[in-house]
Amino acid sequence: MSKVALSGAGGIVGSILRKGLRERGIDLRAAGGSRPLMPLFDGEDVMHGDLRDPAVVDRLLAGVDVLIHMAGTSVEKPLPEIIDNNLRALVEVYEGARRHKVRRVVFASSNHAFGMYPVQERLQLGSAYRPDGFYGLSKVWGEALARMYWDKHGIEGISLRIGTTMGKPPKNARQLSTWMGTEDLLQLVQRCIEAESVGYAAVWGISNNSRAYYDLSEGNVIGYEPTQNAEDWAAALLAQPNPLDEVARSFQGGAFVTQDYTPPTQRARRA
């Protein structure tokens, strides 16, 4: 059985994956950030450390066949933090993958690499990037890095364009489009581990939502077929007040768009 590493294992998604992948028989090494990671069960292979440190990356990737890279800043933050955690650390991870001959890296990208699209548009896997902030921009860069390491070094890469996944039902109207349920999350990551010869590919990380912003009918190279649907909660959610402002309701990135947003009336006028 091949060894799989999971970075970012201390977060909500990481905790779901630690438990769920073990139940599916995956031999997993779980890595947290600066704080020690408490084992969820006896004998769990856990570690922690700063992924900007090559020695920490070496401990994470020794003997590993596939890395599920969920670590990094996951919300909009000042640019220096984004650069440190989502750019510098990612390069160290990929360089470590080269040293240890890791076969495949699964990169946690984000819907926010496309957040400036209007909510009325339905996106294809090949749609142009339209990030809604520095966080989304870092995911564009990360997808390009994953592509480069496949083209230049032969490390397979899968960019998971994750929507909203928390281990809970959707909680607002936007999440009727972006939600991914726990069973679909586990299926998605398992397919990333087990799929044959993917080269480089991107996959929408959402459930089979009736209101999805993304066209899931075109399929994907890993064979991910989501079965859950946020529409099961639509009636109750749509009966509640929408917490998003007018700008956030207009763009796929939601509240991320509103942060540091210049209204059209305040923008420079063209001559």
Q: Which residues are catalytic?
A: 135
How many Cα atoms occupy the beta-carbon half-sphere of 41 within 13 Å? 11
Q: Measured on CA atoms in the order 49, 52, 55, 61, is the torsion positive or negative?
A: positive
Q: Which residues of 70-83 are buried (b: 16+ CB within 10 A; e: fewer)?
A: bbbbbebbeeeebb
What is the DSSP secondary structure assignment for residue 4, as one 8-state letter? E
What is the DSSP secondary structure assignment for residue 113, as one 8-state letter? G
CA 241 from chain centre, in angstroms, equals: 28
**How many CB atoms within 10 Å of residue 207?**
29
Give the DSSP per-residue string, 196-239.
S---EEEEEES---TT-SB-GGG--TT-------GGGGHHHHHT
